[in-house]
Structure 1
Amino acid sequence: MRSFPYSLTDAPDLRSPTRYLLWLGGFQKATLAVGILLGTVWMASQAVMPFVLGRAIDDGVIAGDTGSLVGWAAVLLALMVVQAASDTATHRAGVSNWMQAAFRSVRLVGHKISRTGDALPAALSTGEVVSTAASDAFRLGEVYEVLTRLVGAAAAWLVVTVLIWQTSPVLGVVVLAGVPVCCGLLLFVVRPMQARQREQREASGAMTAVGADTVAGLRVLRGIGGEHIFVDRYRAKSAATRDSGIRVAHSLADLEASQVFIAGTFSVVFTWVGASLVLAGDITPGELVALYGFSIFLMTPIRAAADSVARSIRAHVGARKIIAVLSVDANVSASTAPVAAPPAGSVLVDERSGVVVAPGLVTAVVSREPAESTEAVTRLGRFEDAVLAEATVRWGGADLRHVRLEDIRSRIVVSEAAPQLFSGPLRRQLDPHGRHDDDAVLAALEAASALDILEGLDGGLDHEVTERGRGFSGGQRQRLVLARAYLTDAETLVLVEPTSAVDAHTEQRISARLAGARRREDRATVLVTASPLMLRTADRVLFLEDGRVTAQGSHQDLMRSNPAYRNVVIRSE
């Protein structure tokens, strides 16, 4: 039994599909070597059996030597036992190699998804990423499983060539040259199949993307009666995928037919030459029987080559898709010159906008264009280094770009406007790291005015949340995410439009409880909102115009003294 996940110490080689497959195979050299050795023993034991059978006929049956017949029969029986045992072991080793490569690729994709942030969905659709992890990684692993049989078949071909050479050099030359030629002829069928499989993979990814988008927006689509539009789109994509799959099936059928025809033709030629040698008296009856056995066995290397080529094509297509995912660069990377994080209670300053976040205060940020205030405060969480290259954010005396990401993520939490929940127990959704007891979780739910949600669930905190929290309304998801944000107990907590989906009465309760949940000397809270109910609870309000702070003060002061601010708030109200 092997434990997963395996450790990955090196960065993957993404220069080409072949280089990625070689890099991946480097982690399982031992099991690949064992699989190849077992595959060689398995194939070689099959290859030797016709030779042993021929000797049993010549030395035992025709010569009338019972002892020789029993001896060769015992050798034949031993070969059968070796073949059965090595076949089982080869299959086990092959599947192990398959799963190791597949799970390593899945793990790489999973790490990329979790660490790349918004850069990955901006570059690739959700359906494409899902297809890569769920399908391409396992297709890629097949090439390591078939490798054990391919190398074994090649070794057996050499063994058969040597044995046949001892009987007839002419037949030895036929086998030595004929098998590679037959394998080479299959390339004329393989090339169009490669293009068709790539086309089918692209169509499958597009279909999955449309399906994922439809499911994600199903509630909205039903609300506006637009399901049929996306259903028609999915039907069209599905039909295209089906048609491309049929074309791939045509290529696979051509490959199967070609390998049967080519291998059969070779077998006929080989048998004809062998029969001619018998008629000429150059070989014995036992050797003729062995040649018939060899002619049947020699179809195995040709079939193994065809199967390996087909799987290799699928592996290269899958590797190319995995490389596309792994090549997406994250918006944030580790600094080459890291600096120590500032002490607790340090002030955060966004120099471009002039937003200053001081500990012990609830600071609200308001602007005529909501995107401006959102952009200003999300810079405080360092989600895009490219943005910070143009707008410096200082945390204490340190440039935020050079502070370790682990320190930033543990001390500065940004809760975005679009709440996200995952499948699993509600308790894990609210407290992913399991740091709090039930009393603390309930207190956070109370502060977020979300206890009524809990009361409506049969399992309470053990309730199984469906994917993306679809069992909750938008307002319920927003309150649960707010409770989760409170439970982080972050040194600096940025809440972007935390009450945009709730009614006025609920918003009033949330605003009234915010101070109790967050107002501490070493805790800073930032609100991005234009709601008067939330602004009244803020200790300080920053008003942005054209991305810069132009006024600050209490909500009441700004309402009296700043007409532009008053217009924004009244419009929001």
Structure 2
Amino acid sequence: MADNDFHYELSDRELAARIWVRLRPYRRRIGWALTLLVFAVPFVNFHPLVWGFVADALVDQTLTSDVLVMWLSIMLGSYLIGIAAGAVQSYLLEKTGQAFVRDIRAELFSKFQEQSLAYHRDCRTGELVTRITSDVDAMEQSVLQGLTALVEEFVTFIVVAGMVLWISPIVGAVSIMPLAFAFIFIRKYNRRVKSLYAGVRKKLGNIGSFVQDRLAGILVTQSFGRRDHETEKFRENADHFYDSSVKASRLRNTYFPIVSVFGFLNNVIMLGLGAWLIMNDSSLFSLGALLAYRGFWWRLQSPIRTIAQTSDILQRARAAATRIMELLDKPVSIKNKPDARSLGSVNGAIDFNEVSFSYLQGKPILKQVSFSIKAGEFVAVAGGSGSGKSTLLNLIPRFYDVDSGSITIDGTQIKMVTLDSLRKKIGYVGQDHYLFDGTIWENLIYGDPAAAEEEIFSAAKKANAHDFILSLQNGYETQVGQNGVKLSGGQRQRLSLARAFLAMPRILLLDEPTASVEPESEFLIHEAVLKRSRESGGTTVLVTHRIDLLRQAPRILFFDQGRLAADGAHHDLVDGCSAYAEAYLRWEVEEANQISVLR
């Protein structure tokens, strides 16, 4: 099964439980914030009662200056207390929200680092970026801002409903009834919009992936004059996002006006029933009570409107939260066994025992491959395109796991040791010679952050990189740009070699280290690789079809269609393996053509 074949679905309760686990470290802060919220609501909503008391006192002609000052002081004081408590509560929740976002992003990034190369091969980078950025922001809105708004408005509704019922049980009960229908519509809306917002988040992820991919390949787009074509393809993705968003918007703008109408009916009933009672029997309802109800109407309708809007935010954020939890719960295919031990010092002997491997089920790349490499040996791996050469290298540090068979280092199965201890014994330099955005120095010490200056210079010299580094204006402090765009391909590859040399691995794996580099750099890289092999005493496994390296390699493993077809020195394979001889002649012609083009 492919690494990303993973069906994922969470109920609301399961999702809430997963989120709460990550909020638990902040439960005391959240508890204080919610306590302050509940404390603040009655104080902030007390003033309509004061209006009612003062109005009734004016009608009865019993209001004095002292009483008026008392009520005004109570109204102002209660509001200030509520605002102060609300400010502290808001700060506590915002602080918690930022900590939550930080923790989730760190957890996601750590998960990305754990996942296998197969996972990252199948995933679109832009979608992962979308999930760790905008999806996390949307989730934070849901968890703290949205839920806090719901709690605040719910408490407000309970407090205000209690006040209007206290003023007049009859008017209060009748005026609150329409709001029950508003809640029913909100629940129906939530059920229908859930799947729509899941689609919206998916379409947004598609846009992020498309932009990431096309910006990475901008040179190809411009060189083929495909700008209009790519713009049209982007427009198609944007249209899909637009269509999904409009569907959700249409549903929202169908339900929300109905909810608002029920909220306004509350106002109509308050005024109509209150006025009718005053006209017929002022002892049941007073003008002050009607004035207080007018102030409370807004606070009764506001929770309904806010709950409807917040429910909409929560449904958007639920889709984002599900996408995040899907990543966090995705099983890690390459991981340590429970009883894995640390790999100690090694000599560098490598054994493949009947190893088979396939990226896709039923399409094997390596077929029952067996060979042994002695500690300190220099071995070249050659073969046609798709013969499994690069795959073979990727299996040694467990970037992928074998389908069958086993790989051992110094007699120890690599599956029985921890990944970190295994990979620290292995240096790997691939074809893409990736450099991180930063200085040359920062990229080199990635191989050994504790390395001394002399060790760094020595590694750079061994990789034939020291001289060109010093020729740059800022030397080792030169900014290389994203993926080393400010350097040539050969310079990037030599820095990649130096980075690997600095780590001083006992096993060095090189995958076409001179692919796509200029002739001068190719010669320097060849020289560095061969010199390192002679001087370090470590094991070197080199994938190449360069004639010079094949001739100088003491031993060559030649692969043909996923099988080890021949094993021996260059002259032996030319004489004894027709497939190798044919491939060698083809590589000679290719190199000759490349040289003639460069001339």
Scaled by the length of structure 1, what TM-score is found?
0.89
Give the superposition deviation at 1:141.
Answer: 0.6
Question: 1-side partners of 2:227 and 2:353: how far apart?
Answer: 46
**Amino acid in structure 1 at the alignment position of 2:434:** Q
Give the superposition deviation at 1:296.
Answer: 1.8
Conserved 8 A contact 2:178-2:263: no
Question: 2-side partners of 1:379 and 1:125: how far apart?
Answer: 23
Question: 2-side partners of 1:391 and 1:417: how far apart?
Answer: 27
- The gaps in structure 1 that reach 5 residues or longer are 1-11
Q: Does 1:454 align with 2:456?
A: no
Conserved 8 A contact 2:22-2:100: yes
Q: Does 1:375 align with 2:373?
A: no
Conserved 8 A contact 2:348-2:376: no
Question: 2-side partners of 1:155 and 1:346: how far apart?
Answer: 68
Question: 1-side partners of 2:163 and 2:528: how far apart?
Answer: 88
Change (3 A) 1:397 1:340: farther
- The gaps in structure 2 that reach 5 residues or longer are 1-7, 355-368, 589-599
Give the superposition deviation at 1:250.
Answer: 4.2
Question: 1-side partners of 2:537 and 2:289: how far apart?
Answer: 92
Give the superposition deviation at 1:316.
Answer: 0.8
Q: Spell out, residue by residue over 1:439-497, the C-alpha distance to the aligned partner (whole angstroms, 9 max, x if none).
A: 44344334334456535644332222322333344444333322222222112111111
SS of the residue aligned with 1:502? coil
Give the superposition deviation at 1:438.
Answer: 4.4
Change (3 A) 1:43 1:179: farther
Change (3 A) 1:222 1:444: farther
SS of the residue aligned with 1:366? strand
**Amino acid in structure 2 at the alignment position of 1:479:** R
Give the superposition deviation at 1:139.
Answer: 0.3
Question: 1-side partners of 2:180 and 2:479: how far apart?
Answer: 58
Q: Does 1:410 align with 2:436?
A: no
* Partner in structure 2 of residue 38 of structure 1: 36
1:400 pairs with one of 401, 414, 426: 414
- Percent identical among aligned pairs is 23
Aligned residue-pair number: 560
Give the superposition deviation at 1:546.
Answer: 4.9
Change (3 A) 1:458 1:245: farther
Conserved 8 A contact 1:98-1:138: no
Q: Does 1:88 align with 2:84?
A: no
SS of the residue aligned with 2:523? helix
Give the superposition deviation at 1:138.
Answer: 0.6
* Partner in structure 2 of residue 110 of structure 1: 109
Question: 1-side partners of 2:585 and 2:520: how far apart?
Answer: 18
Give the superposition deviation at 1:76.
Answer: 0.8
SS of the residue aligned with 1:493? strand
1:431 pairs with one of 433, 438, 445: 445
**Amino acid in structure 2 at the alignment position of 1:121:** H
**Amino acid in structure 2 at the alignment position of 1:78:** G
Give the superposition deviation at 1:148.
Answer: 2.2
Change (3 A) 1:507 1:559: farther
Matches for 1:421-500 after TM superposition, within 5 Å: 421-432=435-446, 433-451=448-466, 454=469, 457-500=472-515
RMSD: 2.8
Give the superposition deviation at 1:301.
Answer: 1.5
SS of the residue aligned with 2:424? helix
Conserved 8 A contact 2:176-2:266: no
2:20 pairs with one of 16, 19, 22: 22
SS of the residue aligned with 2:542? strand
Give the superposition deviation at 1:549.
Answer: 4.0
Conserved 8 A contact 1:342-1:398: no
Give the superposition deviation at 1:125.
Answer: 1.5
**Amino acid in structure 2 at the alignment position of 1:54:** G
Conserved 8 A contact 1:42-1:83: yes
* Partner in structure 2 of residue 357 of structure 1: 373
Conserved 8 A contact 2:175-2:267: no
Question: 1-side partners of 2:411 and 2:175: how far apart?
Answer: 77
SS of the residue aligned with 2:567? strand
Q: Spell out, residue by residue over 1:137-183, the C-alpha distance to the aligned partner (whole angstroms, 9 max, x if none).
A: 11011121232232222222222232222221113323554434323
Matches for 1:513-552 after TM superposition, within 5 Å: 513-520=528-535, 523-552=538-567
Q: Spell out, residue by residue over 1:178-202, the C-alpha distance to the aligned partner (whole angstroms, 9 max, x if none).
A: 4343232234444554444333222
Conserved 8 A contact 1:346-1:396: yes
Q: Spell out, residue by residue over 1:35-70, the C-alpha distance to the aligned partner (whole angstroms, 9 max, x if none).
A: 222222232222222123323444578423433332
Change (3 A) 1:123 1:180: farther
SS of the residue aligned with 2:405? coil
**Amino acid in structure 2 at the alignment position of 1:315:** A
Matches for 1:98-247 after TM superposition, within 5 Å: 98-143=97-142, 144-174=144-174, 177-247=177-247
**Amino acid in structure 2 at the alignment position of 1:382:** R
SS of the residue aligned with 2:404? coil
Question: 2-side partners of 1:120 and 1:271: how far apart?
Answer: 63
Give the superposition deviation at 1:393.
Answer: 0.6
